[in-house]
Amino acid sequence: MNCFTIYVDKASDPYLIVHTLTGGMLECHEWTGAQFEKPVEVALADISANDISITHFYGFGEVQYKGLVDFALGRTFLLPYAKIHLVRAVEAVDQYFFNKKKLITKQRIDLLRFMVQRQMDGSPISSPTDLMTGLYSIKWVFHPDKDPQHKRLRFYLDSLVDTGELRLRDHKYELTGEALKAIEIYEEQERKHTENVKIQRRMLWLTVAIVLLTAAQAGLYKLPTLLDLSSAWGLTTRSTGPATAGTVRPVNSNVEGHEKNLVVFLETRDHSRIHQRQLAFASQNATLR
């Protein structure tokens, strides 16, 4: 598309739309409050250059000019058109990557949620085209898989009509109360499933803890000491007898001192007995002689 539309405003309000210029006269239609429908002719000399508005429809874009001076500058330096071409280049790259993506179809319950949300936002979905635009934006129009996806979504909508969540009236799809009921039932099932998963995980960890504690009690491995209270009770450890791995005996410091005294006493008594036996043996030898 490449065409121009010329308007004449009066105090910033719509006044005329120009059709042709003949001999200094403008053939126009005057604004009547609803549309431009009243044919009039106005002399070009009676129109101020600042009251003229020109719209250039350039491809899918448009350029607005306010006054003839603005129009002359725009057509001379072409800055608005450079902007349009830059935007087109960015959109082309974006469309290219979008076309490389697969149009993913949501599950029935997700489609219902989306349609309910759009209904609450004041933009109800009434056709597969509306649903395509809501899910994938207007870029779906140029996607190579647009036709199969359009048919797939129409099939989904028809299936929702068969199950009662939608109804088809005047070729438009409308939500029913069954849609909210279906969503509530699904969410309740999801909540129960989540709770069951949590319980199963807790049972698993509890089983693992029981197995570990049982193995530790059976002596399969030794748990590290978390809190040592021997120093708080004044206890020490010493080995008794031959060194045996893992054999320790707590002894009080006072008891240890008494044990030492007892050992000294026993050793002294043994020495006395040995000395007495030696004296007795010596006296017997003297008598025999």
| Under 8 Å between Cβ of 16 and 29 | yes
pLDDT of residue 24: 85
DSSP per residue over 177-194, as a string?
Answer: HHHHHHHHHHHHHHHHHH
| Under 8 Å between Cβ of 17 and 36 | yes
Counting Cβ atoms within 10 Å, is residue 147 exposed (0-12), middle (13-18) or buried (19+)? Answer: exposed
Spell out the residues 6+ positions from residue 28 whose beta carbon is closer than 8 angstroms to its own. 8, 16, 17, 18, 19, 36, 39, 40, 41, 42
Q: Are strands 2-10 and 13-22 parallel, antiparallel or unpaired?
A: antiparallel
Query: Residue 15's CB: how many other CB atoms inside 10 A?
Result: 19
Directed axis angle between helix 68-77 and helix 79-100, to 10°?
60
* CA distances from residue 136 to 16, 123, 128, 196, 257 in whole angstroms, order as listed: 40, 15, 12, 35, 90
Residue with tokens 């978390």: 226
Token duo for residue 113: 């949620």
Give which of 224, 255, 222, 221 is closest to 238, Cα–Cα. Answer: 255
Angle at 161 between CA 157 and CA 164, to 5 degrees: 135
Tens of each residue's pLDDT in the chain, 289 residues = 788 999 999 877 888 999 998 888 999 999 988 889 889 999 988 888 888 999 999 988 889 999 889 999 988 998 989 998 998 899 889 888 888 887 777 788 888 899 999 888 888 898 999 999 998 888 888 888 889 999 999 999 999 999 899 999 888 999 998 888 888 888 888 888 889 999 999 999 999 888 888 887 877 766 666 555 555 555 554 444 454 444 444 444 455 555 555 555 556 666 666 666 666 666 665 555 5
Sign (positive or negative) of CA dihedral 273, 275, 281, 287: negative
Radius of gyration of the chain (CA): 50
pLDDT of residue 173: 92
Token duo for residue 235: 């206890």
pLDDT of residue 244: 47
Q: Are strands 36-43 and 13-22 parallel, antiparallel or unpaired?
A: unpaired
Task: For the chain, give the number of residues.
Answer: 289
Q: Are strands 13-22 and 25-31 parallel, antiparallel or unpaired?
A: antiparallel
Angle at 126 between CA 120 and CA 128, to 5 degrees: 120
| Under 8 Å between Cβ of 135 and 114 | yes
The amino acid present at 104, given as its one-letter code, is: I
pTM of the predicted model over 0.95: no
pLDDT of residue 205: 92
